[in-house]
Structure 1
Amino acid sequence: MIGDMKIELSKAKKNKYAIPAFNAINPLMIKKYIEVANSLQAPIIISLAEAHLEYMELEEALYSYEHYASKTNVPIILHLDHGQSIEVVKQAINLGFPSVMIDGSMHDFDTNVKMTKEIIEYSQLKGIAVEAEIGHVGAGENYETDELTDSIYTSVEDAVEFVNQTNVNSLAVSIGTAHGHYKGIPKLNFNRLNDINKSVDIPLVLHGGSSSGDDNLRKTIEFGISKINVFTDVVTSINKQMDCGKDYFTVLDQINLGIENCLKHYIDLFGTRKWSEIND
């Protein structure tokens, strides 16, 4: 079914589980993601990052999503991830994306607020969920955009002020994760996350979930994270399965197996199947 981001993140926050957001770069990934979610009876978020529009257009993602999601009985949500330009975010809204992220985290606080407020005002009549980021989740080694940036921790004061000024629906926070690969397992600032969670009353989002450590990720959910983004580990899982000396259909089966293994791991880890229990 076509899911509602606001409703599903509210359920996740209340019931202490997280919904995984898996990035897709082609329709075949969207199809497989939805098949796995349906088989496990767990909601998922399918994300298309603005940085990946060279691989899959907004329209292409939307058509594939609507076609396959309509065949399931679990909430599937399409989300524009890391929309860094106002024009692209508005285009996604106009096309019918049910959820978007406006990422002004690389700008100063006031500019970030201004960008976020513009998107929230633009999306209000359409009922679109809007995510923003305060602080900045940096990019680590071998990040898919080849852009290496440092993380900037989210301060409690900035998070509170940002939410008060923008009325954003969900907030991505920076507590020590990074996009891409790590050297070892990151050390996360759970005290900071706990303080933010106690200070704002909206669902919190963690970017850079891949290989952040299962124990770490479980603990972030305990401290208020309701949505966790995963992409690098999906690609890594696919690569582990692939034998490019095989024929096309065998390779396709291997890709699907890699996707399935990764998604099952994180859906179980995040407790996402609690959705079925509370919706019986």
Structure 2
Amino acid sequence: MALISTTPMLEKAKQDKHGIVAFNVHSFDSIFWVLEAAAELKSPVILQTTVGTVTSLGAENIVAVAKAASEYYNIPTGLHLDHCTNFEVIKEAIRAGYTSVMIDASMHPFEVNVAETKKVMDLAKSLGVNVEAELGKVGGVEDDIVVAEEDAEKAVPEECKQFIELTGVPTLAPAIGTAHGIYKGKPKIDFDRIAKIAELVDVPLVLHGGSAIPEEEVRHCVSLGMAKVNVSTELKNAYSEAIRQHFLDDPDALDPRAYLQKAKEAAKEMAKSKIRMVGSEGKVVPAFV
């Protein structure tokens, strides 16, 4: 199966009241074990990369590997560029074959965010590429984008409605109290704000900072209209912790096939738990296959 636009995936998920996990991948092998996890659970999935990963691996290389993996596992797969502030990088990703891109102009005034988002929409819409934008400021660290806790701002529901009307963007990531990375305390998600935004707009919403949020809270977010749930840190940590434990157990066991297999299995189990959490297990339908 070729890579597909995330727009119909997320619209169907919103309609059916389940989510789709977007997993940040940082290496070529991670693309395969994320799709292997999704295939075993018969779930649609989104692979997403940061700008740093594109710089490290190359957009065309990522697309080639993602295409090969999606065809091998025959699972509906989107490929998303996350949190990009650079229009030239977005063009590069689209040209290479990404099926979804995020323009993050949330650090700018509302009018500038609208203008930057429309610029990307003008490029992507005719090509069937999904566009995601952000309103408010999600706290934490994502690549080189750092938003201190005191600078995080929640999205204003009425502005979300106006933003969709002005830009036509098909997916929106409103800041609702989550943060990137692992939380130092209990996340304070504004469920009433999510409900109000979902009432005013008809596009799928995106939950950023999905790592380590209690499962029942993620499910509540999904039930309110958040169709895309981003997961990065927990996946990285599961993979890396398995490698660290391997060498703690046996410092001289240097065969990479051994420790990478352990890392893959740990990360796969983490990915499966997130797929089950959002309710997308078994959601591969004949229309996609």
Q: TM-score range by the shorter chain?
A: over 0.9
Q: 1:258 and 1:163 mapped to 2: Cα distance?
A: 39
Residue 145 (structure 1) shift: 4.4
Q: 1:276 and 1:84 mapped to 2: Cα distance?
A: 33
Residue 144 (structure 1) shift: 5.5
2:212 paired with 1:204? no
Alignment of 1:1-280 (within 5 A): 1=1, 2-139=3-140, 145=144, 147-150=146-149, 151-242=152-243, 243-244=246-247, 245=251, 246-247=253-254, 248-276=256-284
Q: 1:172 and 1:146 mapped to 2: Cα distance?
A: 16
Residue 37 (structure 1) shift: 1.1
Residue 187 (structure 1) shift: 1.5
Residue 40 (structure 1) shift: 1.2
Tell me if structure 1 keeps the 8 A contact 2:155–2:174: yes
Pairwise CA RMSD: 1.7
Tell me if structure 2 keeps the 8 A contact 1:144–1:180: no
Tell me if structure 2 keeps the 8 A contact 1:239–1:258: no
Q: 1:197 and 1:273 mapped to 2: Cα distance?
A: 24
Q: 1:265 and 1:170 mapped to 2: Cα distance?
A: 24
Residue 274 (structure 1) shift: 4.6
User: Aligned in 2, Cα 1:218/1:146: closer, same or farther, shift over 3 Å?
Assistant: same
State the TM-score, normalized to the length of structure 1. 0.94
State the TM-score, normalized to the length of structure 2. 0.91
Tell me if structure 2 keeps the 8 A contact 1:4–1:98: yes
86-95 vs 241-250, which moves further: 241-250
Tell me if structure 1 keeps the 8 A contact 2:42–2:282: no
Q: 1:274 and 1:135 mapped to 2: Cα distance?
A: 34
Q: 1:157 and 1:251 mapped to 2: Cα distance?
A: 50
Residue 54 (structure 1) shift: 3.7
Q: Which runs of 5+ in 1 are unaligned?
A: none
Tell me if structure 1 keeps the 8 A contact 2:21–2:46: yes
User: Aligned in 2, Cα 1:278/1:159: closer, same or farther, shift over 3 Å?
Assistant: farther
User: Aligned in 2, Cα 1:67/1:137: closer, same or farther, shift over 3 Å?
Assistant: same
User: Aligned in 2, Cα 1:260/1:207: closer, same or farther, shift over 3 Å?
Assistant: same
SS in 1 for 2:48: strand
SS in 1 for 2:172: strand
Residue 277 (structure 1) shift: 6.4
Q: 2:66 and 2:170 mapped to 1: Cα distance?
A: 22
Tell me if structure 2 keeps the 8 A contact 1:49–1:80: yes
User: Aligned in 2, Cα 1:146/1:74: closer, same or farther, shift over 3 Å?
Assistant: closer
Q: 2:282 and 2:169 mapped to 1: Cα distance?
A: 26
The aligned length equals 278
Tell me if structure 1 keeps the 8 A contact 2:208–2:229: yes
SS in 2 for 1:182: coil
Residue 263 (structure 1) shift: 0.4
Residue 71 (structure 1) shift: 1.8
94-103 vs 148-157, which moves further: 148-157
Residue 29 (structure 1) shift: 0.6
| Structure 1 residues 138-179: Cα deviation after superposition (integer angstroms, max 9, x where no partner) | 116xx6648352321011011011000000010001111100
| Structure 1 residues 61-86: Cα deviation after superposition (integer angstroms, max 9, x where no partner) | 11100111112332011111111111
Tell me if structure 1 keeps the 8 A contact 2:50–2:82: yes
Q: Equivalent pairs: percent with the same residue?
A: 33
Letter of the 1:263 counterpart = A
